[in-house]
Amino acid sequence: MAVTALDVARDRAHKLVRPGPHVIVLFGATGDLSRRKLIPGLFHLGQAGLLPEDYRIVGTSLDDLDDDGFRDFARQALGDFCRIHFGDTEWDTFKERLSYVPSRADALAAGVGQAEQSIGEEARRLHYLSVPPSAAGPIVRTLGEADLVDRARVIMEKPFGTDLESARELNDTVHEVFAEDQIFRIDHFLGKEAALNFLAFRFAKGLFEPIWNRQHIAHVQIDVPETLSIGTRGSFYEATGAFRDMIVTHLLQILAVVAMEPPPSLDPRDLVEEKAKVFRSLLPIDPEDVVRAQYQGYRDEPGVAPNSDVETFIAAKVQVDNWRWAGIPWFLRTGKCMAEGARVVSIAFREPPKSMFPAGSGVGRAGPDHLTFDLADTPRLSLSFYGKRPGPGMRLEKASMQFSLGETGQQQDVLEAYERLIHDAMIGDRTLFTTAEGVERLWEISDPLVKEPPPLRFYTKGSWGPPEIGALIAPRRWRLPFERKWRGGG
């Protein structure tokens, strides 16, 4: 009999921590994130044996649905986005665990209470707030009114606030109801297999850690271009923009993982503290070191103001002012409707202080050596360097060594980011989540930019952004697009 990816996942699951009985409450249960990621992710966790043996999922949103309506929604979501094959038996088991209630305190209390009665009244509660920042505070208060705080953890979606003041207000509101150790502020980028690989890459070997510093690294780029437009998310984007949507909540989090000091252990408290030290070391972002831009045609999108000043692209230079990284620029870039979609961290090493190679040899022509991490769902790693071209004379050209998880036969073991983070929250592992201090610090360094943003530029759909980004990184060059492709054409 053939062994399926699901069989492998189940075999792997018994080696991991399995949570005890849980009632999972999905706020925003009929939204886009729930449809694309949360419901399919929970289904996959259940099939892989990573959910409790006894669990219930209670959906709630502003939509007027009943249990059957929510089950129909979930079945369609699985049909569209589930990444494993399943049949009627698996679906029938899953759907019996689904129910739906209105978002009022009394209805929530009754719905969760009924779910708990079916699996045990000491079951833990996991509240997932897949809602905009403006709705998070009222929902947290509703959970308090419904007496659903005990034995509970709450996952809060990004962005956590829209500036320093609103982040502090939201933290204060949440802390009125939940203790800090009950709050899990999610960034799905940190749940990716490639992000976790940074820990193994740096700290499980002695090869790179000795040169992971300002003496050997010239600069770092974190690039997350997207080919998609804002689509039907105009109203959300008008209140958010690329900086709030991506830089504060994703790219600076990745920066912390790349830049942090070696933790004394893999204990979540140690890892979270090392990331917090990086946040404390970040200098305030100077608006002069930022390029904001909007793709042409954005103002014609549904829900967008005809004179909108919201950026759909942002590039920024930031500084980590500590002994390891002082003086080394970190360049962050992200945008919608760009030439390619990618999630790349590129580390540029310093070039030799003097070259022995003759003029015309090609040394330095293709820029410095780079170590590149592709944070795609199938992670990849590339180390580029100069080598001698075969034949007479001394001609140098760039070569690379590459590794792809897809070539190991272990790709089926990878959990999607939301799956990993939901599982971690259920078992109380805070390693990949952000603290109140961390959130507020990132908004604190962003405050100068939020208050006085630079002028808005414009760029063509399908480009790499406005021409001004060249001056931002000069005399260096942006690493994307790559001149050499990943092995296998990827």
So which residues are the catalytic ones?
250
CA distance 96 to 55: 10
Extract the tokens encoding 400: 């690379």
CA distance 93 to 216: 55
How many Cβ atoms sit within 10 Å of the Cβ of residue 112?
26
How many Cβ atoms sit within 10 Å of the Cβ of residue 321?
12
CA distance 261 to 479: 25
**H runs (alpha helix) in 247-337:** 252-259, 268-281
Extract the tokens encoding 454: 């630079």
Extract the tokens encoding 471: 């001056």
Cα Rg, the chain, nearest whole Å: 24
The answer to whether 446 and 165 have CB atoms below 8 angstroms apart is no
Distances (CA, A) of 243 to 240, 276, 284, 438, 479: 8, 20, 14, 17, 20
For strand 396-404 and strand 456-459, is the pairing parallel, antiparallel, or unpaired?
unpaired
For strand 22-27 and strand 55-60, is the pairing parallel, antiparallel, or unpaired?
parallel
